[in-house]
Amino acid sequence: MPGRLVPGGQLVLWTMATHSDTDNAVEALLLRTEERRRKRSARLNAATRQRLGQVFTPRIVADRIVGELRLPNAGTVSVLDPGAGIGNLTASLVARVLRERPALGLRVTAVELDSALLGDLRTTLEDCQQVASSGGVNFNYDLVEADFVEWAVSLVAPTLGLFGDPLRFDLAIQNPPYRKVGAASKERRWLARTGIHVPNLYAAFLSLATHLLAADGQMVAITPRSFANGAYFRSFRRDLLATAGIDRICVFHERGALFADSAVLQ
């Protein structure tokens, strides 16, 4: 253990973090986040869950999803976490960076509408910042209390059709809400400003996040398979494939078990 003598004969010691220390800190971070998710999910108002289309992301799914990202070895990447919930996906991303890319910095923008979740979300983000810092990873975040559709439209609508690339996030990670977008809904009015036409909120989240990606940006998302079927999502598919390419589609066959505490049917 290294150390040095200071005047008066006092010995000052210091240690360097080991791989074991990092692994333990990362595991503790993920356990705390998962426990936070379980407790919040159990307390979540059923009417609010249905109105907002909320489905929280279990740790096993969050780890699998962020594992699909191609991460650079160094530098700083900007990350968008729309409908962030209590921050499960961001925590899994921080854990992966600490384990695999410790020279990589993260700048996360977490957007969440439900005021009941903001305390837990901020706790997770602060937890991520502390654990990242102890592992030598630069982590900064912005917590945006807003409806993601309205917030994203305000950024996307003025830039569509302009020369150049006004988009800004290197990575987007999301488990978007699932509910229909009604013909007379506020979301429909907002989306009309961008020319995006979608029948479900999850498709709106994907479209808007795609338009907010920088050149060579990446998005990973947990979605139903319905977007691949028939005329209902045709406009969405055209917009998505005109803006981005699909690297991989991973199918979860055990959705009832993976999302057992969220009563997921899709």
Name the residue with higher pLDDT: 142 or 44. 142
Query: Shortest CA distance to 66 belongs to which of 83, 35, 41, 87?
Result: 87
In a domain, 5, yes or no: no
* pLDDT computed for residue 85 by the predictor: 93
**Alpha carbon separation from 96 to 101, 222, 255 (Å, rounded):** 7, 18, 23
Contact by Cβ (8 Å): 182, 190: no
**Alpha carbon separation from 56 to 62, 79, 143, 190, 210 (Å, rounded):** 10, 19, 18, 25, 21
Other beta carbons within 10 Å of 215: 8
pLDDT one-digit tens code per residue, 66-110: 999 999 999 999 999 999 999 999 999 999 999 999 999 999 999
Name the residue with higher pLDDT: 52 or 20. 20
> Over the chain, what is the mean pLDDT?
85
In a domain, 148, yes or no: yes
In a domain, 7, yes or no: no
DSSP-derived pairing of the beta strands 139-145 and 3-6: unpaired
Contact by Cβ (8 Å): 217, 169: yes
In a domain, 209, yes or no: yes
Question: What is the number of structural domains in the chain?
Answer: 1
Name the residue with higher pLDDT: 11 or 188. 188
Note the residue count of the chain: 266
User: What average pLDDT does range 120-125 have in this prediction?
Assistant: 97
Segments in 85-147 forming alpha helices (H): 88-100, 118-134
User: What average pLDDT does range 104-130 have in this prediction?
Assistant: 96
* pLDDT computed for residue 138 by the predictor: 97
**CATH code, domain carrying 82:** 3.40.50
In a domain, 72, yes or no: yes
In a domain, 61, yes or no: yes
In a domain, 4, yes or no: no
Name the residue with higher pLDDT: 51 or 3. 51
In a domain, 21, yes or no: yes
Distance CA 225, CA 37 (A): 25
Query: Shortest CA distance to 202 belongs to which of 178, 237, 185?
Result: 178
Residue 109 zone, left/alpha/beta (φ > 0; ψ -120 to 50; rest):
beta
pLDDT one-digit tens code per residue, 239-263: 889 989 999 988 877 655 555 555 5
* pLDDT computed for residue 162 by the predictor: 53
* pLDDT computed for residue 129 by the predictor: 98
* pLDDT computed for residue 20 by the predictor: 79
What dihedral do alpha carbons 69, 71, 76, 80 form, nearest 10°? 0
Task: Residue 230: give the domain boundaries.
Answer: 17-262
DSSP string, 192-248: HTTT---SBHHHHHHHHHHHTEEEEEEEEE---SGGGSTTTTHHHHHHHHHH-----
* Beta strands, E only, the chain: 3-6, 10-13, 75-82, 104-112, 139-145, 169-174, 213-221
Is residue 52 scored above 70 in pLDDT?
A: no
User: What average pLDDT does range 181-202 have in this prediction?
Assistant: 91
* pLDDT computed for residue 157 by the predictor: 80
* pLDDT computed for residue 1 by the predictor: 42
* pLDDT computed for residue 86 by the predictor: 93
pTM assigned to the model: 0.84
Is residue 5 scored above 80 in pLDDT?
A: no
Structure tokens at 263: 């009563």
Contact by Cβ (8 Å): 204, 149: yes
* pLDDT computed for residue 2 by the predictor: 47
